[in-house]
Amino acid sequence: MTTNDKKEKKVLPTISKTSKEYQRSKACRFCGTHRGVISKYNLKICRRCFNDHALELGFKKYD
């Protein structure tokens, strides 16, 4: 194969978030911490605040 036979892929430049922008988007709504954040279902609540506010959010506690 020659270089003319190979198809060149166009690579688009990616715009990446800086680490600070990523951390801000992953902060807890109640206390602002970045550790243990539950982002499933767009909750964005840390595990400690989730334990405190789960009943207010409509979650039920099962044994």
pLDDT in tens, 7-26: 677 776 676 766 666 666 78
Taking 90 as the threshold, does the pLDDT of residue 49 lie above it? yes
Q: Contact 17/23 with Cβ under 8 angstroms?
A: no
Place of tokens 């990523």: 22
Q: Contact 32/45 with Cβ under 8 angstroms?
A: no
- Degrees (nearest 5) of the Cα angle 63, 38, 21? 170
> What is the average pLDDT score of the chain?
81
Task: Specify the CATH number for the domain of residue 52.
Answer: 4.10.830.10
Average pLDDT estimate for 38-59: 92
Taking 70 as the threshold, does the pLDDT of residue 61 lie above it? yes
* Domain assignment present for 46: yes
Domain count along the chain: 1
E strands in the chain: 37-38, 45-46
Which of 14-18, 29-33, 47-51, 58-62 is predicted with the least confidence, judged by mean pLDDT?
14-18
Q: Contact 51/45 with Cβ under 8 angstroms?
A: no
Taking 70 as the threshold, does the pLDDT of residue 54 lie above it? yes
